[in-house]
Amino acid sequence: MSSTFDTVAGIISDTADIPREKITPESHAIDDLGIDSLAFLDIAFAVDKAFGIKLPLEKWTQEVNEGKVPAEEYFVIKNLVARIDSLVAAKGA
Amino acid sequence: MRLEYFEMIDRVEEIDVSAGTIRTISTVPDASPVFEGHFPDHPLVPGVLLTETMAQASGYLVLAMRDFAEMPFLMAVDRARFRTFVGPGAELLVEARLSHEGSGYVATRASVSVEGKRIADAELRFRTMPFPDGLDGRMREQARRIGLDLVVA
């Protein structure tokens, strides 16, 4: 898996106090790892700082709550990593 | 300051919403029930109340920057340091600077100084959420009380 995954997994492990080996690309942040909304904001802060981006959490949450996008699209770690990569690429474009 | 009412900021001295900075002044009261326990015959402002003071200065900064569109609620305190004691009568200069604006949260760095000497500092984070019913009006009243409306350009 990518270095982005390693960085994100490390952030989640440190921030939410989850053993690193429990975090896989297929893990669902909420259903599998038990990360709540407050912890996710902590993770977003660390991700924002580490990658120099702004995770659009409010937009994602709204889309999920309105049923437009399944939660897995944002909260399964491999999908989250892909979105971070996209945001980083867009920043450099 | 009215410690027991959690009115920690007396007045806003300066705010720059484009730069994301605020300077406020607070004077520690000569007497307060807080000092009866903290500590008997040795009154000191508790560190948690210095943290709250930094949080309120940061909160007013965020309210002004977002024109009272959302309410910032304290969600995290990192790297808090209380470098010396603060007692009755001290005039506190409380400064805060927006350090990161995320989606659904903001981060600030804040400090408290007395006579040019750093007393306390911390990195704070706030969840920004819609106002609970009626709170926006009350927060605007509080902001007017400390003169925030007079210094926001």
Q: What is the pLDDT of residue A1?
A: 57
Note which residues in 120-139 of chain B have CB less than 8 A from chain A. Answer: 125, 127
For residue B127, the distance in angstroms to the closest alpha carbon of chain A comes to: 8
Quote the number of domains for chain B.
1
- For residue A93, is pLDDT > 80? no
Rounded CA separation A44/A65 (Å): 19
Q: Does A65 touch chain B (CB under 8 A)?
A: no
Residue A92 scores a pLDDT above 90:
no
Residue of chain B whose Cα is closest to the Cα of A48: B102
User: 3-state secondary structure string, B38-107?
Assistant: CCCCCCCCCHHHHHHHHHHHHHHHHHHHCCCCCEEEEEEEEEEEECCCCCCCCEEEEEEEEEEECCCEEE
| CATH number for B50 | 3.10.129.10
Find the domain containing B41 and state its range: 3-151
Q: What SS3 state is found at B150? A: helix
| High-pLDDT (> 90) share of chain B, % | 95
Residues in chain B with pLDDT values less than 70? 151-153
Per residue in A20-57, pLDDT (tens digit) is 999 999 999 999 999 998 999 999 999 999 999 999 99
What phi, psi does B86 have (nearest 5°)?
A: -125, 125
Which domains does chain A possess?
Answer: 3-92 (1.10.1200.10)
pLDDT digits (tens, 9 = 90+) for B106-140: 999 999 999 999 999 999 999 999 999 989 999 99
Question: What is the rounded average pLDDT for all residues in chain A?
Answer: 94
Give A-chain residues touching B75 at CB under 8 angstroms: 38, 41
Q: Hey, is the C-beta of B79 within 8 angstroms of any chain A C-beta?
A: no
The pLDDT of A80-86, averaged and rounded, is 96
The predicted structure's pLDDT at residue B53? 98
Q: What is the ipTM of this complex?
A: 0.86
Q: What Cα–Cα distance (Å) separates residue A86 from each residue in A61, A72, A79, A89, A92?
A: 18, 17, 11, 5, 10
- At residue B122, the pLDDT reads 98
Q: Three-state DSSP class for A15? A: helix
Residue A2 has pLDDT above 90, yes or no: no
